[in-house]
Amino acid sequence: MQISRAPIPDILIFEPKVHGDNRGYFMETWRQSWFDEKGIDLKFVQDNQSKSARGTLRGLHYQLQHPQGKLARVVAGEVFDVAVDLRRGSASFGQWYGIILSGDNKKQLWIPPGFAHGFYVMSETAELLYKCTDSYHPEDEHSLLWNDKNIGIAWPLLNAEPLLSAKDRNGKSLLEAPTYS
């Protein structure tokens, strides 16, 4: 596994070694020692999977009392995956990082606790799988506004307006949103 740091240093990009032949392929997608070697002392407690149609934007979601670190990967299709730093004391507070994750490139993105997470579906459909370091607590979920001008995410939109849930359409701006202290 090749592990590199994104421009926001706490975000990691995982690129697995894929062993393939005419029968298909095999790859390791996660190993605890990789996190141990990077000094990440967290355990995964929940796996989630979503399937979404082209043009769907999910996020930017986070939990304050139960912050989740997430290791995201796409098993089918292609998404633009985004993390936004919401840790007030961080030098990268309010900054975002985005990367294309796909079933073809097999890259994974480590989004640490303290970040909002979202993705935009660029293929006909996409299936995203992610491991979480804390359980989902619906009463603690928050949504950061996907198109907040204070953050300026350069979403690769295929249409003028993405497909959004009501929750995501009504997310809060960075100036209004509760953040991590």
CB 146 within 8 A of CB 162: yes
Q: Which of 62, 97, 120, 130 is catalytic?
A: 130
User: Residue 161: which of 102, 123, 116, 120 has the closest Cα?
Assistant: 120
Q: In the chain, which ranges are continuous DSSP H helix?
A: 32-37, 166-169
Count of alpha carbons within 13 angstroms of residue 181, beta-carbon side: 1
Residue carrying the six token digits 């996907």: 146
Contact 67, 156 (CB under 8 A): no
Q: Is 130 a catalytic residue?
A: yes
Set 61, 97, 117, 120: catalytic member: 61
Catalytic residues, by residue number, are: 61, 130
